[in-house]
Structure 1
Amino acid sequence: MKKMTIKLTLLFLLVLAGCANDSESEKTAELTVSAAASMTDSLLEVKEAFEKEHPAIKISYNFGGSGALRKQIEQGAPIDLFFSASKTDYDKLVKQDMVQDGTAIFQNELVLIKSNQTDLNSRDDLMQQGGSIAVGTPDAVPAGTYAKEVLENIGVWEELQDRQMLVFTKDVSQVVTLVSQGAVDVGIVYASDVIARDDVTVIDRFDPSLHATIEYYAAIIESEEQQSEVMQAREAFYQYVLENEAKDIFRKYGFLIME
């Protein structure tokens, strides 16, 4: 009887040990990723595909203007990865030794879009008839920085300001929203922002020579995190966005992949 009891006790302990191991192996690593608002749709699809392949890793996004997101990281926000639509913001983090690993991943184009509720059909119409033009706030939103550069190079920035035609936004997604709702007549956004939309119309594509090259960067942010599963998850997601499956998703959304 004693032998039977001992055997049952040992079996029970083994089962408990096995359950503990299973629980440990299924432990979820959670990553917080800050990303340019212009990547919202594409990164949501990347998240879905990635989590199917890596069920023990969960991604939580924080979308916004790259400049504002970069400042949050500088102020100590617990961010695992950063996707920037601005080389300047990426470089600032690199110079502060806040990037563990990073690289340029693709490029974009700048376009002028109009509301389907306005009869403006060109830049000339805008200047002749007046109206409102939405752009990201240049100091915080890369698309706004590029837009200002374009408008300065074609010689209309000062006039637009003097005539109070400029409407500044917190990110590029807000520009699209204002245009689609008819709250403004036109806006300057990335080509990728409107590739799948039918509620706005592209009326001009700006010559790339009018602005700095629009490059997006992916970066693993330096962290004091020591948990191995989190460190491995950060690297896994970073490598995933560089692979062909993720590239195909970005390409579908209008980004120009850098081979």
Structure 2
Amino acid sequence: MKSNKLLKFVSSFALSIVLMMGLATPTFAASTGTNLTTTLNLMADYSTRYSLGERVNEVYPSGTLLRAFEDQNPNTKVNVTYDSSGNLLNQMKADPNHSTDVFLSDDLTRMNSAVTANIIQANTVYNLLSNELVLVGNASTGLTENSLSYSDVLDWLNDNPGTIAVGDPAVVALGTYTKQVFDAIDSTIWNNILTHATLYSNDTDVLDAVACNVNQLGSVYATDARRRPELTVLDSKDVNIIYPIGITNAAMNDNVSRAPAAQALVNFLKADIVNPDGVFQGRGFSIPIQP
């Protein structure tokens, strides 16, 4: 009889300990210990796609940042949408479900607009990456490396049967940066450049147009130019190209799953850019000066 009473006491005590431990477990830690998956929706500028990755057969390629992040966080799945920052901002503004969690822009203006529109929480914005602008030409131009500057582009276009591919400043930060370079040379030159130009709505189309000889010259990001060795870099400009990243208010309002998962992704990307052997620096991005 005493043995049975002792057994019941031990069993009851053990059960109490288990229940106390369960109650003491934080909510997010408990959810990550299950098979439940948190899905993050990332909006990112086109020029980051080679670093972040694009799914092939539902899997991000080895060596990309989103593959590494998902490998380290098996209960988090990241869906990424690539487009120009202007188009992405318009998509977020038009989304009644507020489904975006993280926004990675290629300019401060669009990020500031997202904050003003109450889409991005201001205190989450961080200047993640820096890039440069380069003038490129294809083989049809006969130009060699560093042989044509931005200041001489209009003369070249006037003297040669060629055109230039540029981003549309209305929706593409790449176009805004390009216009800034030409405006700094001469405030009247941009309108003359446009008579020889084709405007494109995203970074990839500008790059592909030059590579496919639709246009003979193009103004692109240095990181994109590295992906096309058949193109010749003719000139480069450092025009303070900053890529800010921020978390949406919708995500931050969900402190059980979306907020911690989004912060984990942002922290992961922050850690990579400061690593000299990381993916971002390996693709040509650099560390921006923080405000």
Q: TM-score, normalised by structure 2?
A: 0.74
Query: For 1:197 and 1:154, how far apart are their aligned partners in 2?
Result: 27
Residue 191 of structure 2 aligns with an amino acid whose one-letter code is E
Match of 1:222 among 232, 249, 255: 249
The correspondence of residues 105-120 of structure 1 with structure 2, limited to 5 A, is: 105-120=128-143
Matched, 1:231 2:240: no
CA displacement, residues 91-120 of structure 1 (integer Å, 9 cap, x when unaligned): 112223322211111211110011123324
Matched, 1:80 2:101: yes
Match of 2:212 among 164, 181, 191: 181
Query: For 2:273 and 2:128, how far apart are their aligned partners in 1?
Result: 13
Match of 2:47 among 33, 38, 59: 38
Query: For 1:250 and 1:170, how far apart are their aligned partners in 2?
Result: 24
Give yes or no for contact 2:44–2:80 (8 Å, CA) kept in 1: yes
Matched, 1:257 2:284: no
**Please, which moves more after superposition, 128-137 or 138-147?**
128-137
Query: For 1:255 and 1:127, how far apart are their aligned partners in 2?
Result: 34
Matched, 1:65 2:84: yes
Indicate how the Cα distance of structure 1 residues 244 and 39 shifts in structure 2: closer, same or farther if over 3 A, else same. closer
The correspondence of residues 186-205 of structure 1 with structure 2, limited to 5 A, is: 186-205=217-236
- Percent of residue pairs identical: 27
Give yes or no for contact 2:273–2:287 (8 Å, CA) kept in 1: no
**Please, which moves more after superposition, 123-132 or 136-145?**
123-132
- In structure 1, the partner of 2:10 is none
Matched, 1:241 2:266: no
- In structure 2, the partner of 1:18 is none
Indicate how the Cα distance of structure 1 residues 24 and 250 shifts in structure 2: closer, same or farther if over 3 A, else same. closer
Query: For 1:227 and 1:242, how far apart are their aligned partners in 2?
Result: 21
Give yes or no for contact 2:273–2:281 (8 Å, CA) kept in 1: no
- In structure 2, the partner of 1:172 is 203
Residue 92 of structure 1 aligns with an amino acid whose one-letter code is S
Aligned length: 233
DSSP 3-state at the match of 2:250 = coil
Query: For 2:101 and 2:118, how far apart are their aligned partners in 1?
Result: 14
Q: TM-score, normalised by structure 1?
A: 0.82
Indicate how the Cα distance of structure 1 residues 22 and 149 shifts in structure 2: closer, same or farther if over 3 A, else same. closer
Residue 249 of structure 1 aligns with an amino acid whose one-letter code is V
Query: For 2:75 and 2:171, how far apart are their aligned partners in 1?
Result: 34
Matched, 1:151 2:177: no
Bigger radius of gyration: 2
Query: For 2:245 and 2:31, how far apart are their aligned partners in 1?
Result: 33
**Please, which moves more after superposition, 152-161 or 188-197?**
152-161
CA displacement, residues 230-249 of structure 1 (integer Å, 9 cap, x when unaligned): 33211111111111477521
Give yes or no for contact 1:130–1:165 (8 Å, CA) kept in 2: no
CA displacement, residues 186-245 of structure 1 (integer Å, 9 cap, x when unaligned): 110111112232121111113x3xx4x211001111106637223321111111111147
CA displacement, residues 171-190 of structure 1 (integer Å, 9 cap, x when unaligned): 11111111111111011011
CA displacement, residues 41-97 of structure 1 (integer Å, 9 cap, x when unaligned): 011111011111111111111101101111211223521100000100011122233
DSSP 3-state at the match of 1:199 = coil
**Please, which moves more after superposition, 223-232 or 75-84?**
223-232
Query: For 1:23 and 1:176, how far apart are their aligned partners in 2?
Result: 41
Query: For 2:244 and 2:167, how far apart are their aligned partners in 1?
Result: 19
- In structure 2, the partner of 1:135 is 166
Query: For 2:231 and 2:40, how far apart are their aligned partners in 1?
Result: 34
Structure 1 unaligned segments of length 5 or more: list them: 1-20
Query: For 2:282 and 2:266, how far apart are their aligned partners in 1?
Result: 19
Alpha-carbon deviation of 1:25?
Answer: 0.5
